[in-house]
Structure 1
Amino acid sequence: MSSRVIPAWFVRAHTQVGRPSSVPEVRLHVAQDVVALWEAMEAERGGAGEAPPFWAAAWPGGQALARYVLDEPAAVAGRSVLDLGSGSGLVAIAAVRAGARSVLASDVDPFSRTAIGVNAGLNGVPGISVTGDVLGRDLPGVEVILAGDVCYDREMTERLLPFLERARARGCAVYLGDPGRMYLPHDRLTAVARYEIPETEGPGLRPTTVWRLP
């Protein structure tokens, strides 16, 4: 994981401000041309090999989770929150607006970590702390974990689930937003809300569920 800090001007220069369709209360810097942004990221870092700019889109799972905490603020109000795989920071911003006492936003991508701060500033939301990968560390001292669109492949899911189960065993509330990823362990989760989220690319709606780890 790189510790290099990406300058805020990069995020502002290579994105446009928009409002997620299901969370219009929040503004985000999003990519209009993903390929051009990806090329700019590689140029900024001095070579190829950058991960795709997942941080520059409002993914369905994140939108559903952000919508849920705004509609059901009791899930986070007055509590310490970890936004796991934060990406753009959408869920972290929603958690602050819903009254979370503190929010820690975690992402492995240094571009994401900068984007979270830029988007928090854009929305006038203070108090979001940003960190890198937490899955290999001791559990952070939080009361709620929010994770949107994190079960996107087998390897990530296998790393994630033991972390979430340890957190739940300690009394932490765990919520996941998911648009039907094949690796999500449905049999170990309880659905608490369902939304129809407009597709990030192209027409149509994506049925998306907010799940709780019992």
Structure 2
Amino acid sequence: MAPVAFVPEIQLYQADEATALWHLTEATLDRADMPPPFWAFAWAGGQGLARYILDHPEAVKAKRVLDFASGSGLVAIAAAKSGALSVEAVDIDPFAVAAIFLNAEVNEATIHARHDDVIGIPAGDFDVLLAGDVFYDSGFAARLMPWFAALSEAGVTVIAGDPDRTYRPVASVRELALYEVPVHLALEDAAMKRVRVLRFESLQTALPGGRGFA
């Protein structure tokens, strides 16, 4: 357990190396199809988004927050610390859900963690959706873009933290902040990553014929 580099107000159980942990998990459970342990690290996009939420608590204060693809729970913890009315963290990896519970307890944050795929659910139970570092894959980004845009049209505030991934949105988003975030060299190709905090604005140009990505 250690403070997060760019968000030292928050402590997380963190791994030093991804591959060894991945192999250990597969060997322990006797499974060869385990997803990578994304939950064991503070990724650049999540660090930038958590920093923004802590510095701008009005974004979540007294609001119902959904932290999508929560991983370690870093962003959800930042929202809880910033006065959110409620925080739900969701991830498709059950190990992430366990990590979120542990990290929330260490930080004395009240968070409901859930193992679920929520892509496509309509607005209704949350006022703010937070997403850290989710545009790393073309297929995944293509699923997210119209959903995020539709939520924005329905009145949900959708805010993402992205370290200039290949499939990041470039249309219908407003840049709220830009940070230089230190990251683990085992995870990235540089010791510092530029992270943009983006708010989705409109459905109209979110995904016109495949555009809307960098």
TM-score, reference length from structure 1: 0.88
Task: Please list, as runs of the form range in 1=range in 2, the aligned pairs for 1:10-159 lying within 5 A after superposition.
Answer: 17-139=1-123, 141-159=125-143
Give structure 1 stretches of 5+ with no counterpart: 1-16
Separation in 1 of the partners of 2:20 and 2:3? 21
Counterparts in 2 of 1:140 and 1:35: CA distance versus 1, 3 Å: farther
Separation in 1 of the partners of 2:165 and 2:129? 19
Q: Which residue of 1 aligns with 2:195?
A: 208
Q: Which residue of 1 aligns with 2:153?
A: 169
Any idea what the Cα deviations from partners look like across 1:109-132, whole Å, max 9, x if unmatched?
111111011110111112434242
Counterparts in 2 of 1:194 and 1:166: CA distance versus 1, 3 Å: same
Separation in 2 of the partners of 1:156 and 1:178? 14
Counterparts in 2 of 1:178 and 1:172: CA distance versus 1, 3 Å: same
Would the aligned equivalents of 1:68 and 1:210 in 2 still touch at CA under 8 Å? yes
Any idea what the Cα deviations from partners look like across 1:111-168, whole Å, max 9, x if unmatched?
1111011110111112434242101444451000100000001010011112111211
> Which sits farther off after the overlay, 178-187 or 122-131?
122-131
Separation in 1 of the partners of 2:26 and 2:4? 26
Separation in 2 of the partners of 1:209 and 1:55? 21
Give structure 2 stretches of 5+ with no counterpart: 202-214
Would the aligned equivalents of 1:105 and 1:130 in 2 still touch at CA under 8 Å? yes
Separation in 2 of the partners of 1:133 and 1:44? 25
Would the aligned equivalents of 1:104 and 1:131 in 2 still touch at CA under 8 Å? no
**1:190 maps onto 2:177 in alignment:** no
Separation in 1 of the partners of 2:33 and 2:179? 35
Aligned CA RMSD, in angstroms, stands at 1.4
Q: Percent identity?
A: 43
Q: Which has the higher helix share?
A: 1
Would the aligned equivalents of 1:83 and 1:106 in 2 still touch at CA under 8 Å? yes
The one-letter code matched in structure 2 to 1:155 is G
Separation in 2 of the partners of 1:56 and 1:163? 27
The one-letter code matched in structure 1 to 2:194 is P
Separation in 2 of the partners of 1:161 and 1:136? 10
Counterparts in 2 of 1:162 and 1:45: CA distance versus 1, 3 Å: farther
Any idea what the Cα deviations from partners look like across 1:96-116, whole Å, max 9, x if unmatched?
000000011111111111101
> Which sits farther off after the overlay, 201-210 or 24-33?
201-210
